[in-house]
Amino acid sequence: MAIDRRVQEFPIVSKLDPEVYGPPESALTKELLESQIVESVTVEEAMAQRRLFILDYHDVFLPYVHRVRERPETTLYGSRTVFFLTGAGTLSPLAIELARPQSPTRPQWRRAFVHGPDATASWLWKLAKAHVLSHDTGYHQLVSHWLRTHCCVEPYIIAANRQLSRMHPVHRLLHPHFRYTMEINALARESLINADGIIEESFWPGRYAMELSSVAYAATWRFDAEALPEDLVRRGLAVRQEDGERELTIKDYPYANDGLLVWNSIMQWASDYIDFYYKSDEEVACDEEVRAWWEEVRTKGHADKKDAPWWPAVDTRDGLIGVLTTIMWVTSGHHAAVNFGQYHYGGDFPNRPTVMRKNMPVEENKEEVMKKFMEMPEHVLLDTMPSKMQAITIMATLDILSSHSPDEEYMGEHAEPAWLAEPRVKAAFERFAGRMKEIEGIVDERNNDPELRNRCGAGIVPYELLKPFSTPGVTGRGIPNSISI
């Protein structure tokens, strides 16, 4: 269930059972992709040069297509979108594939859409893009946001409260990162992700929303890959060099570039902190509370994955630092990046539709559908988008989710009293706070650099999601310590 990643295998083939879903071959052929690449390179050359990327919602969504279509005014496809990294460092979409699996009464349907030479092809391309954006919006909310931050942080909190004394240094380090998370999750279960709640009523997964999140957890979640550097490597968006350093495959990748600054700052702070309290690896290994905490996280919080080989150990200082850095990153930088820009990017619902209500007009080629499409394609597009009530509900919800409260606690802004009581820990926190302030300036410089075309230029939204500090309200910036909204 790899979603946004670099293409490393071609041809693209489904891993689903062909007896159930139909032929596995993709409509995105070598000839089609090469016809859309403006530079004179083949698919093989583009892959070798690390310039071919894919947004893949085919295998993960195809099993839900027929079930979702049973819902009134809702449709779904499995989709793939392939992008080419241009010489300017920007991603150019080459082609979109939409697919409907076979059923007892109908054969499989799939079609590729590209930038068209005529008006009809151009409008079909617009419609196909809208479908893909709705797929991305649903996955973002249920997996990247709810699952990977809100949901998967709960075991860390519960185990910490059970196994770590409130005076334990690890508890004191993590406590600011757990503020209000259980409360906001309880509220979400009451009115956001509950049965017939906002997500089910206004997002295409409907009643299958939590099932989809659970399936994604089983197929994709692993603790070690929640670390930002490892996540980038796993998706092919960074390559590990011989010296152990990681090279980004997209040089101007704002989330990765800014995120790594934050990640490294968190790791340095965690390292300084742990090195003060533990003078050797043996002291970490002999800490019964830390061992019990991590054992509960693994065996009770994630019982179905407890025997997986990728769980890191916490019997050394480096091991403990890595685990703490990952948890602190997920609760701060990761959550900030996927949450506080939601209104900026999705408040205008045509930019991020949460549901598509009509099939592509060419799926069945019905005469009356095609006639309306040919005469009024803009009306067909608007009729396919969310209803007025769905759009209003989502706009209001995203406005709330993207808001910072007046008492927000940002990374590096407030020191815990226990940290201030120890001069070396206080000094380490002050260095961390200083680095976070430096990141503010670095982000501003990057957003004003005309060479960075993914974050600077006419019509380009500056990337500020990982600027550490913010004022109250909907600002599209700021990294709070915890998941509190």
Tell me which residues are annotated as active site.
Answer: 145, 150, 335, 339, 485
Which H helix or E strand runs over 380? helix 377-384
Of 267, 287, 298, 262, the residue nearest 170 (C-alpha): 287
Q: How far is Cα 273 from Cα 424, in angstroms, rounded to an integer? A: 9
Hunting for tokens 């407890």 — which residue is that? 306
Q: How far is Cα 149 from Cα 179, in angstroms, rounded to an integer? A: 13
Q: Are 316 and 284 in contact (CB under 8 A)?
A: yes
In one-letter notation, the amino acid at residue 3 is I
Of 352, 329, 333, the residue nearest 477 (C-alpha): 333
Asked if the bond preceding 450 is cis, omega within 30° of 0, the reply is: no
Tell me the chain's radius of gyration from C-alpha atoms.
24
CA dihedral 121, 70, 382, 376 (to 10 degrees): 50
Q: Are 89 and 454 in contact (CB under 8 A)?
A: yes
DSSP 195: T
CA atoms within 13 A on the CB side of 75: 21
Q: How far is Cα 465 from Cα 479, in angstroms, rounded to an integer? A: 8
**Structure token digits, residue 355:** 């549901």
Q: How far is Cα 433 from Cα 427, in angstroms, rounded to an integer? A: 10
DSSP 455: T
Residue-wise DSSP of 90-141: -EEEEEEEEEE---SSS--EEEEE---SSHHHHHHHHHHHHHHHHHHHHHII
Which H helix or E strand runs over 216? helix 209-220
Q: How far is Cα 7 from Cα 4, in angstroms, rounded to an integer? A: 9
| Helix, strand, coil percent content, the chain, rounded in steps of 5 | 55, 10, 35
Residue-wise DSSP of 394-438: HHHHHHHHTEEPTT--BTTT---HHHHTSHHHHHHHHHHHHHHHH
